[in-house]
Structure 1
Amino acid sequence: MAKKRAPIPVNPMANQFGSGIAMEKLLVEKLNPKEKEEAGRAHREDGHSFFLLEKGKVTIEIDFEKIHIKPASLIYLHPNQVHRITTFENVAVCVWSINNEYLHPEYLEILEELTPARPILLKKETVSLLSDAVALGMRFMERQEDKLFHASIKDSCNALVALSISQFLDQNQSSLKGGRFETVTKSFRTLLERNYIQDKRPAAYAKKLNISIPYLNECVRHTTGFSVSHHIQQRVILEAKRLLVHSDQAIKEIATTLGYDDYPYFSRLFTKVTGKTPMAFRNKNLD
């Protein structure tokens, strides 16, 4: 009998204090067996989460990609991303997390554009600034009797998010006021996240953006190095991978869920993009 796969658990990190916001510092030499089992189980976070690794050794798998994180690195995880920790030794890490309700709308828009984000190495002075800001935020979180308690921790965490976003934008050589190509690409990626199941042709996105297909392709390829079709395929295949590993749906059901009534076509596409059949991918990644 096949092993039953439970739904992907959500770690309530942002809501651990009942506020939708978390700021803390962790010092961990080694995870005990129970903690190691929990960390190694694939899960999502309930908020937009940032981890500043000041010391130690961490390996994390994010949406089936293994990433080795070095000190002093900053990593950002979007609530949609499925991840698990495979190595966590002699670690000193600052953590802050905030859910959509309390995150500044402008920051949310930028984070959606940044996802997926690679870990970035920070300068010593930036690490010190972020670490001090987390420490201050933790002190605010102790003052629950203050009349503006929630406002103070909300502002503190949003300030940390703003500092973090600035680092990602700087190292990615991005700009909040990008040129026309960047603006079109950003709009396309937003539409893609909302419509990838029903709209799988570049023409659908070009129509929504009121531009021609060649111009849309020119903008996206100039900004990202890849075509519109590539981005559509990659987004669909990522969701297929998640469902194959973390759900009990039959492969034909997954194809239908993702908008493919033609199962053989879906299977060929998945194999072409990943180099494995859907069944082979599922079997390889079962715990």
Structure 2
Amino acid sequence: MQQKSHTIPLNSFPNDFNLGILIKKNAVRNLELDQISQAHRDDFYLFFILEEGNGIFEIDFQQHRLGPSSVMIIQPYQVHRGIAMDYSTFSVLMISVENLNSDYINALKDIDTIAPINIDRETCTILSETVDICLKLNERKHEKLYPALMKDSCNTIAALIISQYLVQSKKSDAQSRAEHITKQFNALLDKDFIINKQPKIYAEKLKISTAYLNECIKKATGKPVTYHIQQRIVLEAKRLLYHSSKSVKEIAAALGYDDYPYFSRLFSKVTGMTALTFRNKNIE
């Protein structure tokens, strides 16, 4: 059994690539996944294009199988790991938050679930050709506008991939008021769930009443605000239980709970099992 670290490892952008952009294309028969087989987080965006072959990745407790002509996005701080990769031709784009176009970051917020998706062969070919162009530009470090060339060309790859997600998510361009507020709430929740656990606080930040916030969230998702707050807290607790050696009491404190018994009851209520039972059932 692999030894767990006390905290979930966080990978920052490689020091050798101070540009904040790294792009690679590989063709392998059987890829060694030692470097990414341990669950970890990244503080950058990762865009993955699988042209040929098969792979298995795990993102926040969900295993995803990738086949030919598929793409995957892993957002900053998602817990993930690689499990298998065989007979594959694939490309990887790593890009820092600062270098990814802010419009594309906002577009990602409109996608309900970012799991790997299949794309048509023509689009996959265009993506592959765009990667080839980026790799050629990457070699032209003598260009006066080299950083801009890399940033703009690699953002084109990101835009193409995000576009495929938007098409398949079947989101309407004209968002309803409820959807718009839900989007804002989710962004705040992801940022503040450790310190803010009351619907009233989120409503105040959005400058609306608590009742109206709850109405909008229920209309858009079918669940009340409290449900989403609890789910986000429990997701982070599961990450730490599964991928770190922190005690349940330490995890409760890390998630902003001085009242350890209250946290334990909340976890049991949401998951139907105690935190220790969850950990024991999911020993790697």
Partner of 1:105: 102
1:54-93 alignment, distance < 5 Å: 54-93=51-90
Provide TM-score, normalisation by structure 1.
Answer: 0.89
Deviation at 1:165, TM superposition (A): 1.6
Partner of 2:162: 165
Deviation digits for residues 201-222 of structure 1, max 9, x if unmatched?
Answer: 2222122212233322232233
Deviation at 1:144, TM superposition (A): 0.9
Partner of 1:208: 205
CA separation in 1, counterparts of 2:23 and 2:234? 34
Partner of 2:143: 146
Deviation at 1:15, TM superposition (A): 6.1
Match of 1:128 among 97, 116, 125: 125
Partner of 1:179: 176
Contact 2:49/2:90, CA 8 A, preserved across alignment = yes
Deviates more, 1:116-125 or 1:134-143: 116-125
What is the total number of aligned residue pairs between the two structures?
A: 282
CA separation in 2, counterparts of 1:71 and 1:15? 32
* Residue identity opposite 2:280 in structure 1: N
* Residue identity opposite 1:25 in structure 2: K
SS at match of 1:36: coil
CA separation in 1, counterparts of 2:15 and 2:168? 30
Deviation at 1:121, TM superposition (A): 1.5
Deviation digits for residues 159-190 of structure 1, max 9, x if unmatched?
Answer: 11122221111111224552211211111011
Provide TM-score, normalisation by structure 2.
Answer: 0.90
Contact 2:185/2:202, CA 8 A, preserved across alignment = yes
SS at match of 2:90: strand
Identity rate of aligned residues, in percent? Answer: 45
State yes or no: 1:238 paired with 2:235. Answer: yes
CA separation in 1, counterparts of 2:67 and 2:55? 7
Deviation digits for residues 109-162 of structure 1, max 9, x if unmatched?
Answer: 233454751212111221111111111111110111111111101001111112
CA separation in 2, counterparts of 1:144 and 1:197? 43
* Residue identity opposite 1:18 in structure 2: N
* Residue identity opposite 1:130 in structure 2: L
State yes or no: 1:21 paired with 2:18. Answer: no
